[in-house]
Amino acid sequence: MIRLLLLLVSLLAAGAVGVRAQHLLDWSPEEIKAVGQHGPWPPPPARDPSNKVSDTAAGIALGEYLFNEPRLSGDGRMSCATCHQAGREWSDGLAKARGAVELDRRTPSLWNIGYLHWFGWDGAGDSLWAQSIRPLLDPREMNGGPTRAGELLRSDAALACGYERAFGNTPGTDDERLLVDTAKALAAFQATLVSPRTPFDDFRDALVAGDRESASRYPLAAQRGLKLFVGEANCSLCHLGPRFTSGEFGDIGIPFFVRPGEVDPGRHGGLVRLAASPFNLLGKYNDDASGNNTRRTRHVQRQHTNFGEFRVPGLRQVGRGGPYMHNGSLATLEDVIRHYSEVSPDRLHSDGIPLVRPLGLTAGQGADLVAFLRSLDAEPVARPSPAPLCP
């Protein structure tokens, strides 16, 4: 009886090993190079020369405090964290963001936001801090008004102390300056939101290092999906680099009607707002005296093809988020893949050379792409609760 049991146990163990043992597909040197450029991960901490408190401990601490501070809003009830929730990949799980009213766009995740150069779905911000001013003022979002941040920093002892630690002086009377500084602290905090390493990263490192044994632990479906992603399906044309985004804009044929007769102009409208903003990098609040970081803002030009273009989202943690796209119009990753498989070329708004074409994927190929995308997910490390600003 015992022998029989032992036999059974060893058979079961062998079966389990048989299931676990994966194979490694053949990877050409070109493919290994294409996969390699999606790492290594994580990247070094982001630093923004236009923001003097970026990558400083005191700036980050103040920013984390302010990020969760509802008193920055007009009705004292909404903070950044209302829509950008730590437990929801720094988004809210809604198709369209809900502030004072429902907005026309989805709340983007803030993972890896510090490594971008254009912000918002339409690129209306050219720095993370400028982008962080908008929700503070926007009547549809926090509706705080231009003086609220200043009043709060002056009147709250802990915040005033945190401000002095970060900026080296007590909060003065210049409310616009204090609004900008609030946003700079918020930006310093957000730039620390770096997504965790994933099964894809382990595979990528093993493949690049020629470690076949470790590489073969990556599921075959994800390997096949990755091959499509960097190869035939050409996804990495736009979703490139370690963050899986170029940081630029594209048109993949998502309908841009907001309501009958009204469109979301995307990048085209973003460039109008960028030029009009007193907080862009050409203005007086850019802390980088060298002016090196103004080149993009100075040279960018609005073109007709910018209509209906939206910023290419990064894909890390994508399977843990959703719904997808700037307007939350696709519910699942399967829907996204179906979109790329079937998109009609007539749906593309741009008049240049279309960069996407209907891929006509088989069901198996679609499932492989989803398996690959899901390998970009991992459970984030829990954040320690923030220390008091000035103990």
Q: Interface with ligand HEC by CB under 6 A: which residues? A: 78, 80, 82-84, 97, 99, 103, 105, 107-108, 110, 113, 119-122, 128, 131-132, 135-136, 141-142, 186, 190, 233-235, 237-239, 250, 252, 254, 310, 312-313, 315, 318, 321, 324-326, 333, 336, 340, 355-356, 369, 373
Among candidate residues 154, 207, 201, the one with its CA nearest the CA of residue 177: 154
Q: How deeply is 290 buried, as exposed, middle or buried, from its count of CB atoms within 10 A (0-12, 13-18, 19+)?
A: exposed
Query: Closest CB to ligand HEC among 48 and 201?
Result: 48
Query: Closest CB to ligand HEC among 180 and 315?
Result: 315
Query: Closest CB to ligand HEC among 214 and 225?
Result: 225
Q: State the first-to-last Cα distance of the chain, in angstroms, to the nearest integer.
A: 67
Neighbours of 295 (CB within 10 A): 10
Letter string b/e over residues 68-80, b meaning 16 or more CB atoms within 10 A of that residue's CB = ebebbbbeeebbb
Kindly state the smallest distance separating residue 286's Cβ from ligand HEC, in Å: 17
Query: Closest CB to ligand HEC among 52 and 96?
Result: 96
Among candidate residues 100, 122, 125, the one with its CA nearest the CA of residue 48: 125
Query: Closest CB to ligand HEC among 116 and 206?
Result: 116
Among candidate residues 231, 198, 201, 200, the one with its CA nearest the CA of residue 26: 231
Q: How far is the CA of 159 from the CAs of 57, 134, 165, 182, 388, in angstroms? A: 15, 21, 10, 10, 10
Query: Closest CB to ligand HEC among 216 and 358?
Result: 358
Query: Closest CB to ligand HEC among 54 and 107?
Result: 107
Kindly state the smallest distance separating residue 287's Cβ from ligand HEC, in Å: 18
* Cα 138 off chain centre by: 21
Q: How far is the CA of 32 from the CAs of 217, 244, 336, 391, in angstroms? A: 16, 16, 26, 51
Kindly state the smallest distance separating residue 17's Cβ from ligand HEC, in Å: 32
Kindly state the smallest distance separating residue 186's Cβ from ligand HEC, in Å: 4
Please give the Cα distance from 172 to 382 (Å, whole number): 36
Q: What is the largest CA-CA distance in the chain?
A: 86
Among candidate residues 261, 309, 371, the one with its CA nearest the CA of residue 124: 309
Query: Closest CB to ligand HEC among 58 and 370?
Result: 370
Query: Which two tokens mark 118?
Result: 């254009």
Kindly state the smallest distance separating residue 9's Cβ from ligand HEC, in Å: 42
